Amino acid sequence: MKSLILFLFLTSNVLLYSQTYELSVGQDVYKPLEKSISLTNNQVWDDPDYNVPIGFNFTFFDDVIDRLYSNESDVILFTEPESTYDYVPFSAFLPFFADLIDLGFSSGESLSNISYLLEGEEGSRICIIEWSNAGFYETSYNGAGSDFVNFQLWLHEDGDLIEVHFGDSEITDFFGVFDGGGPTLGIVAGFDNNTSQFDEFLVLDGDPASPTLVSIENNASSYFYEEYILDAMPESGTIYRFNRNSVSTNEIKELSTHFYIQPNLVRNTVSLRTQLSLHSVKSVSIHNSDGALMKTIHGDYENIDIGQFASGIYNMKILTSDGLATKRFVKID
């Protein structure tokens, strides 16, 4: 059974703001790689150990990288080799967190290639890593089934964009393959193996056609891959793009100091106050602790009715002409 390595220590608390990347979802025809370089050398695999030369310098969160490492995990690509875990915090891509294995594992003949290809001209190159017809441990280890998935991770030199592309898949027992859950996709920055702390962890959650991008906090309370999942397999042609946020975390925090909420413990009406002009505020949205959008406000920020909200913690996202700000308040009965 696949080792889940270090990711058993992560949290279930949610924030949607002050994050490095924003998510967009698109559709295009999935194109399998041609003339790509095999990373598994056409051998049957389970947790293969390989590394991928990106072919250019790629900025991932705050790190500049030029190579990725599987570290005997075909579903996670790390920015550091396993030998450095105890000394250097690492970041990682989770393009499809599931227990994958070669579809031909039981027969000894490889049916699932993991490969990569560098495309394009300098300045606009794309490194594409593909998992072709990858099987699932639950159905392929003993040859009990033929469930498979096709997907690719794209790293764009231009803009440091990250994309995950999905092709055809066939899963006859969705909950069995995913152990009662579903697939998880995400990215993590600055994971410290000694403390299990990290700088930022973003995962997709919910409807695969329009998932929520969830930011996880640094408290060890549950397994992220059981709580934050896609409810179904993405359709062939689905593309998830992670765009770098134009507003940095420091800018968000600095802007947030110009806003305050009265009162902090709210029964019916909350008032947004600012040292800036309210004319600079474009919109205000309120989200619950699970990240769900509860209300959007485009005016009268001083008398926001939340009387129908359930008691709990809420986050207010304030979009201004100068950037973003976030504030938190507590609804009480």
Question: Could you tell me if 22 and 213 are in contact, meaning their C-beta atoms sit under 8 angstroms apart?
Answer: yes
Can you give the pLDDT at residue 6? 39
User: What's 299's DSSP letter?
Assistant: S
Domains delineated in the chain:
14-244 (no CATH), 249-331 (2.60.40)
Q: What is the mean pLDDT of each run of 10 residues along the chain (333 residues)?
A: 35 46 91 96 93 93 89 87 82 92 92 96 94 89 84 94 96 82 89 82 92 76 66 94 72 74 90 77 79 77 90 85 80 89
Tell me the sheet residues that pair with 184: 97
Can you give the pLDDT at residue 279? 65
CA–CA gap between residue 76 and residue 85 (Å, rounded): 14
Question: Could you tell me if 76 and 177 are in contact, meaning their C-beta atoms sit under 8 angstroms apart?
Answer: no
Pairing status of strand 312-320 against strand 304-305: unpaired
Can you give the pLDDT at residue 1? 34
SS3 203: strand
CA–CA gap between residue 71 and residue 78 (Å, rounded): 7
Can you give the pLDDT at residue 45? 94
SS3 250: helix
Can you give the pLDDT at residue 74? 67
CA–CA gap between residue 71 and residue 191 (Å, rounded): 15
Query: Within its chain, how far is the Cα of 3 from the centroid?
Result: 20
Work out whether the CA dihedral 132, 138, 142, 144 comes out positive or negative.
Answer: negative
CA–CA gap between residue 202 and residue 95 (Å, rounded): 12
pTM > 0.75: no
CA–CA gap between residue 93 and residue 116 (Å, rounded): 15
Retrieve residue 45's tokens: 């695999």
Can you give the pLDDT at residue 219? 54
Can you give the pLDDT at residue 169? 96
User: What's 331's DSSP letter?
Assistant: E
Residue with tokens 């250097």: 88
Q: Which of 296, 244, 223, 212 is nearest to 60 (CA)?
A: 244
Around 319, how many Cα atoms within 13 Å sit in the side-chain half-sphere?
Answer: 10
Q: Which of 327, 325, 321 is nearest to 280 (CA)?
A: 321
How far is the first Cα of the chain from the last one, in angstroms, to the nearest whole number? 48
Query: Within its chain, how far is the Cα of 232 from the centroid?
Result: 16
User: What's 233's DSSP letter?
Assistant: P
CA–CA gap between residue 293 and residue 288 (Å, rounded): 7
